[in-house]
Amino acid sequence: MHGSFEGTIRVDEAANTITANGVQIQVIYSDNPSTVDYTAYGIKDALVVDNTGRWRDAEGLSQHLQSKGVARVLLTAPGKGELKNIVHGINHSSIEDSDTIVTAASCTTNAITPVLKALNDKFGVIHGHVETVHSFTNDQNLIDNFHKGDRRGRSAALNMVITETGAAKAVAKALPELQGKLTGNAIRVPTPDVSMAILNLNLEKGTTKDEVNNYLREMSLHSELRKQIDFIDSPEVVSTDFVGSRRAGIVDGLATIATDKHLVVYVWYDNEFGYSCQVVRVMEEMAGVNPPSFPARGVAVNLEPKATLEPAGV
Protein backbone atom coordinates (compact mmCIF):
# COMPACT_ATOMS: atom_id res chain seq x y z
CA MET A 1 0.00 0.00 0.00
CA HIS A 2 2.78 2.42 0.88
CA GLY A 3 5.00 1.68 -2.10
CA SER A 4 8.65 0.78 -2.34
CA PHE A 5 11.21 2.27 0.03
CA GLU A 6 12.73 5.35 -1.54
CA GLY A 7 16.40 4.85 -0.91
CA THR A 8 19.05 2.20 -0.47
CA ILE A 9 19.05 -0.77 1.89
CA ARG A 10 22.11 -2.76 2.91
CA VAL A 11 21.92 -5.86 5.11
CA ASP A 12 24.86 -7.11 7.17
CA GLU A 13 23.84 -10.58 8.34
CA ALA A 14 27.01 -11.13 10.35
CA ALA A 15 26.50 -7.96 12.39
CA ASN A 16 22.68 -8.23 12.40
CA THR A 17 22.30 -4.72 11.05
CA ILE A 18 20.24 -2.99 8.39
CA THR A 19 21.54 0.25 6.92
CA ALA A 20 18.79 2.38 5.40
CA ASN A 21 19.92 5.54 3.61
CA GLY A 22 23.08 5.54 5.70
CA VAL A 23 21.29 5.04 9.03
CA GLN A 24 22.32 1.86 10.82
CA ILE A 25 19.56 -0.16 12.48
CA GLN A 26 20.58 -2.86 14.93
CA VAL A 27 18.46 -6.02 14.85
CA ILE A 28 18.18 -7.65 18.29
CA TYR A 29 16.61 -11.06 18.87
CA SER A 30 15.00 -12.06 22.16
CA ASP A 31 11.92 -13.89 23.42
CA ASN A 32 12.13 -12.09 26.76
CA PRO A 33 12.53 -8.29 26.86
CA SER A 34 14.12 -8.33 30.30
CA THR A 35 17.14 -10.28 29.01
CA VAL A 36 18.19 -7.74 26.37
CA ASP A 37 21.33 -5.74 27.13
CA TYR A 38 21.03 -2.58 25.04
CA THR A 39 24.26 -1.18 26.47
CA ALA A 40 26.15 -3.96 24.67
CA TYR A 41 25.17 -2.16 21.45
CA GLY A 42 26.10 1.27 22.74
CA ILE A 43 22.48 2.17 23.50
CA LYS A 44 21.71 4.08 26.69
CA ASP A 45 18.51 5.65 28.06
CA ALA A 46 16.53 3.96 25.29
CA LEU A 47 12.88 4.61 24.54
CA VAL A 48 11.39 1.23 23.64
CA VAL A 49 8.35 1.33 21.36
CA ASP A 50 6.35 -1.86 21.92
CA ASN A 51 4.03 -2.70 19.03
CA THR A 52 3.93 -6.45 19.62
CA GLY A 53 0.49 -6.26 21.23
CA ARG A 54 1.57 -8.91 23.72
CA TRP A 55 1.29 -6.69 26.79
CA ARG A 56 -0.99 -3.73 27.39
CA ASP A 57 -0.62 -3.22 31.14
CA ALA A 58 2.11 -1.84 33.35
CA GLU A 59 3.09 -5.24 34.71
CA GLY A 60 3.82 -6.72 31.30
CA LEU A 61 5.39 -3.64 29.74
CA SER A 62 7.63 -3.06 32.76
CA GLN A 63 9.68 -6.06 31.65
CA HIS A 64 11.33 -3.72 29.15
CA LEU A 65 12.49 -1.51 32.02
CA GLN A 66 14.44 -4.45 33.47
CA SER A 67 16.67 -4.42 30.39
CA LYS A 68 20.01 -2.67 30.66
CA GLY A 69 19.92 0.66 28.85
CA VAL A 70 16.13 1.19 28.79
CA ALA A 71 14.64 4.34 30.32
CA ARG A 72 11.05 4.50 29.03
CA VAL A 73 8.43 2.49 27.16
CA LEU A 74 5.76 3.58 24.67
CA LEU A 75 2.92 1.21 23.77
CA THR A 76 1.28 1.54 20.35
CA ALA A 77 -2.15 0.40 21.52
CA PRO A 78 -4.71 1.46 24.13
CA GLY A 79 -3.28 0.80 27.57
CA LYS A 80 -5.02 -0.93 30.44
CA GLY A 81 -5.25 0.17 34.04
CA GLU A 82 -3.82 3.52 35.06
CA LEU A 83 -1.45 3.96 32.11
CA LYS A 84 -1.71 7.36 30.43
CA ASN A 85 -3.30 7.14 26.98
CA ILE A 86 -1.76 9.97 24.98
CA VAL A 87 -3.23 11.53 21.85
CA HIS A 88 -0.68 14.02 20.59
CA GLY A 89 -2.22 17.46 20.19
CA ILE A 90 -4.72 16.77 22.96
CA ASN A 91 -2.99 15.69 26.16
CA HIS A 92 0.68 15.20 25.28
CA SER A 93 1.60 17.98 27.71
CA SER A 94 0.51 15.67 30.56
CA ILE A 95 3.56 13.44 29.99
CA GLU A 96 5.90 13.85 32.95
CA ASP A 97 9.52 12.83 33.43
CA SER A 98 8.33 10.27 35.99
CA ASP A 99 6.12 8.50 33.41
CA THR A 100 8.25 5.53 32.42
CA ILE A 101 5.41 3.79 30.54
CA VAL A 102 2.77 5.56 28.44
CA THR A 103 0.57 4.52 25.53
CA ALA A 104 -0.24 6.20 22.22
CA ALA A 105 -3.86 4.94 22.28
CA SER A 106 -5.25 3.53 19.00
CA CYS A 107 -5.38 4.74 15.41
CA THR A 108 -9.11 5.40 15.69
CA THR A 109 -8.81 7.26 19.00
CA ASN A 110 -6.10 9.45 17.48
CA ALA A 111 -8.25 10.15 14.42
CA ILE A 112 -11.44 11.17 16.20
CA THR A 113 -10.31 12.81 19.45
CA PRO A 114 -8.93 16.03 17.88
CA VAL A 115 -12.11 16.49 15.81
CA LEU A 116 -14.30 15.76 18.84
CA LYS A 117 -12.36 18.26 20.95
CA ALA A 118 -12.77 20.94 18.30
CA LEU A 119 -16.51 20.28 18.02
CA ASN A 120 -17.01 20.09 21.77
CA ASP A 121 -15.17 23.37 22.32
CA LYS A 122 -17.33 25.16 19.75
CA PHE A 123 -20.75 23.54 19.97
CA GLY A 124 -20.75 21.28 23.05
CA VAL A 125 -21.32 17.54 22.69
CA ILE A 126 -24.23 16.14 24.72
CA HIS A 127 -23.76 12.56 23.55
CA GLY A 128 -22.93 10.69 20.37
CA HIS A 129 -22.11 7.45 18.60
CA VAL A 130 -18.90 6.63 16.73
CA GLU A 131 -19.09 4.07 13.92
CA THR A 132 -15.77 3.09 12.37
CA VAL A 133 -15.48 1.52 8.94
CA HIS A 134 -12.08 -0.06 9.45
CA SER A 135 -9.69 -1.78 7.07
CA PHE A 136 -8.94 -5.36 8.03
CA THR A 137 -5.97 -6.00 10.31
CA ASN A 138 -3.62 -8.89 11.00
CA ASP A 139 -5.71 -10.17 13.89
CA GLN A 140 -8.31 -11.37 11.36
CA ASN A 141 -8.17 -14.50 9.23
CA LEU A 142 -7.69 -14.46 5.46
CA ILE A 143 -9.87 -17.56 5.22
CA ASP A 144 -12.59 -18.83 7.56
CA ASN A 145 -10.84 -20.31 10.58
CA PHE A 146 -10.84 -20.42 14.37
CA HIS A 147 -10.59 -17.11 16.23
CA LYS A 148 -11.26 -16.04 19.81
CA GLY A 149 -13.67 -13.47 18.39
CA ASP A 150 -16.15 -15.51 16.36
CA ARG A 151 -16.91 -13.01 13.59
CA ARG A 152 -13.24 -12.08 13.18
CA GLY A 153 -12.60 -15.71 12.33
CA ARG A 154 -14.40 -15.26 9.03
CA SER A 155 -12.46 -14.35 5.90
CA ALA A 156 -11.26 -10.74 6.14
CA ALA A 157 -10.86 -10.48 2.37
CA LEU A 158 -14.43 -11.51 1.60
CA ASN A 159 -16.61 -10.06 4.34
CA MET A 160 -17.74 -6.98 6.19
CA VAL A 161 -17.43 -7.91 9.85
CA ILE A 162 -19.27 -6.20 12.71
CA THR A 163 -17.06 -6.04 15.78
CA GLU A 164 -16.43 -3.94 18.84
CA THR A 165 -14.16 -0.94 19.27
CA GLY A 166 -12.85 0.57 22.46
CA ALA A 167 -12.11 3.87 20.73
CA ALA A 168 -15.23 5.67 22.00
CA LYS A 169 -14.41 4.91 25.64
CA ALA A 170 -10.70 5.56 25.07
CA VAL A 171 -11.46 9.11 23.92
CA ALA A 172 -12.37 10.01 27.50
CA LYS A 173 -8.91 8.99 28.73
CA ALA A 174 -7.42 11.76 26.62
CA LEU A 175 -10.45 14.09 26.75
CA PRO A 176 -12.17 13.63 30.15
CA GLU A 177 -14.97 16.09 29.36
CA LEU A 178 -16.47 13.46 27.03
CA GLN A 179 -16.53 10.76 29.73
CA GLY A 180 -19.69 8.65 29.37
CA LYS A 181 -20.95 10.62 26.37
CA LEU A 182 -19.92 8.31 23.52
CA THR A 183 -20.76 4.82 22.31
CA GLY A 184 -18.95 3.00 19.54
CA ASN A 185 -18.96 0.10 17.14
CA ALA A 186 -16.85 -1.03 14.20
CA ILE A 187 -17.26 -2.65 10.81
CA ARG A 188 -14.14 -4.33 9.42
CA VAL A 189 -14.13 -4.17 5.62
CA PRO A 190 -11.99 -5.90 2.95
CA THR A 191 -9.60 -3.02 2.25
CA PRO A 192 -5.95 -3.16 3.40
CA ASP A 193 -5.50 0.43 4.61
CA VAL A 194 -7.34 3.71 5.31
CA SER A 195 -10.42 3.71 7.50
CA MET A 196 -13.30 6.05 8.25
CA ALA A 197 -15.00 7.17 11.45
CA ILE A 198 -18.56 8.48 11.36
CA LEU A 199 -19.32 10.81 14.27
CA ASN A 200 -23.06 11.02 14.99
CA LEU A 201 -23.46 13.75 17.59
CA ASN A 202 -26.13 15.62 19.52
CA LEU A 203 -24.97 19.15 20.30
CA GLU A 204 -25.76 21.79 22.88
CA LYS A 205 -25.81 24.54 20.23
CA GLY A 206 -27.54 24.42 16.87
CA THR A 207 -25.44 24.85 13.75
CA THR A 208 -25.32 24.47 9.98
CA LYS A 209 -23.22 22.47 7.57
CA ASP A 210 -21.42 25.57 6.35
CA GLU A 211 -20.62 26.76 9.86
CA VAL A 212 -19.22 23.38 10.89
CA ASN A 213 -17.16 22.99 7.72
CA ASN A 214 -15.77 26.52 7.87
CA TYR A 215 -14.84 26.00 11.50
CA LEU A 216 -13.12 22.64 10.94
CA ARG A 217 -11.31 23.99 7.87
CA GLU A 218 -10.02 26.85 10.01
CA MET A 219 -8.91 24.41 12.70
CA SER A 220 -6.99 22.37 10.13
CA LEU A 221 -5.09 25.44 8.95
CA HIS A 222 -4.58 27.84 11.82
CA SER A 223 -5.05 26.06 15.15
CA GLU A 224 -2.82 24.04 17.45
CA LEU A 225 -4.54 20.94 16.05
CA ARG A 226 -3.34 21.58 12.50
CA LYS A 227 -1.02 18.54 12.64
CA GLN A 228 -3.90 16.32 13.71
CA ILE A 229 -6.87 17.59 11.67
CA ASP A 230 -7.02 17.90 7.89
CA PHE A 231 -10.01 19.01 5.82
CA ILE A 232 -11.11 18.23 2.28
CA ASP A 233 -14.24 18.98 0.28
CA SER A 234 -13.45 17.32 -3.04
CA PRO A 235 -16.22 15.23 -4.69
CA GLU A 236 -13.63 12.91 -6.25
CA VAL A 237 -11.68 11.46 -3.31
CA VAL A 238 -11.90 7.84 -2.17
CA SER A 239 -10.09 5.91 0.53
CA THR A 240 -6.82 5.21 -1.32
CA ASP A 241 -6.32 8.95 -1.83
CA PHE A 242 -5.50 9.19 1.88
CA VAL A 243 -2.77 6.55 1.95
CA GLY A 244 0.30 8.24 3.41
CA SER A 245 -1.55 11.12 5.07
CA ARG A 246 0.44 12.48 8.00
CA ARG A 247 -2.61 13.89 9.77
CA ALA A 248 -4.42 11.86 12.41
CA GLY A 249 -7.75 12.39 10.62
CA ILE A 250 -9.19 14.12 7.55
CA VAL A 251 -12.69 15.63 7.69
CA ASP A 252 -14.71 15.05 4.50
CA GLY A 253 -16.63 18.31 4.31
CA LEU A 254 -19.00 17.27 1.53
CA ALA A 255 -20.34 14.44 3.69
CA THR A 256 -21.11 16.66 6.70
CA ILE A 257 -24.78 16.64 7.77
CA ALA A 258 -26.08 19.29 10.17
CA THR A 259 -29.68 19.69 11.28
CA ASP A 260 -29.78 22.22 14.09
CA LYS A 261 -28.39 20.29 17.08
CA HIS A 262 -27.83 17.01 15.25
CA LEU A 263 -24.49 16.64 13.48
CA VAL A 264 -22.83 13.88 11.44
CA VAL A 265 -19.15 14.23 10.52
CA TYR A 266 -17.11 11.80 8.41
CA VAL A 267 -13.40 11.45 9.22
CA TRP A 268 -10.95 9.55 6.99
CA TYR A 269 -7.68 8.29 8.47
CA ASP A 270 -4.69 6.25 7.38
CA ASN A 271 -4.83 3.79 10.24
CA GLU A 272 -1.22 2.80 9.55
CA PHE A 273 0.87 5.80 8.45
CA GLY A 274 -1.23 8.57 9.96
CA TYR A 275 -1.21 6.79 13.31
CA SER A 276 2.53 6.15 13.02
CA CYS A 277 3.07 9.90 12.62
CA GLN A 278 1.17 10.47 15.85
CA VAL A 279 3.33 7.85 17.57
CA VAL A 280 6.49 9.63 16.38
CA ARG A 281 5.16 12.90 17.80
CA VAL A 282 4.65 11.24 21.19
CA MET A 283 8.16 9.75 20.96
CA GLU A 284 9.58 13.22 20.34
CA GLU A 285 7.71 14.51 23.37
CA MET A 286 9.00 11.71 25.60
CA ALA A 287 12.57 12.11 24.34
CA GLY A 288 12.54 15.89 24.64
CA VAL A 289 13.20 16.28 20.93
CA ASN A 290 11.79 19.44 19.36
CA PRO A 291 12.38 19.45 15.61
CA PRO A 292 12.14 22.90 14.03
CA SER A 293 8.72 23.75 12.66
CA PHE A 294 6.96 26.76 11.24
CA PRO A 295 4.95 28.21 12.80
CA ALA A 296 6.57 27.43 16.15
CA ARG A 297 4.95 24.63 18.11
CA GLY A 298 2.06 25.76 20.26
CA VAL A 299 1.55 28.94 18.27
CA ALA A 300 -1.74 29.44 16.44
CA VAL A 301 -1.53 31.45 13.25
CA ASN A 302 -3.91 34.21 12.24
CA LEU A 303 -3.91 34.59 8.48
CA GLU A 304 -6.77 37.07 8.29
CA PRO A 305 -6.05 39.71 5.61
CA LYS A 306 -4.77 42.97 7.04
CA ALA A 307 -6.22 46.34 6.14
CA THR A 308 -4.31 48.13 3.39
CA LEU A 309 -3.55 51.84 3.18
CA GLU A 310 -4.46 53.58 -0.04
CA PRO A 311 -2.09 56.24 -1.44
CA ALA A 312 -2.84 59.79 -0.36
CA GLY A 313 -5.12 61.68 -2.69
CA VAL A 314 -6.89 58.60 -4.04
Please give the distance of CA 301 from its chain centroid, rounded to a whole number: 23
Contact 247, 275 (CB under 8 A): no
Please give the distance of CA 241 from its chain centroid, rounded to a whole number: 18
46, 105, 107, 111: the catalytic one is: 107
What angle, rounded to 10 degrees, do the helices at 209-222 and 107-123 form?
120
**Structure-derived torsion over alpha carbons of residues 11, 13, 16, 20, reported in degrees to the nearest 10:** 0
Please give the distance of CA 226 from its chain centroid, rounded to a whole number: 14
Contact 229, 115 (CB under 8 A): yes
Active site residue 107: yes
Please give the distance of CA 134 from its chain centroid, rounded to a whole number: 14
Residues recognised as catalytic: 107
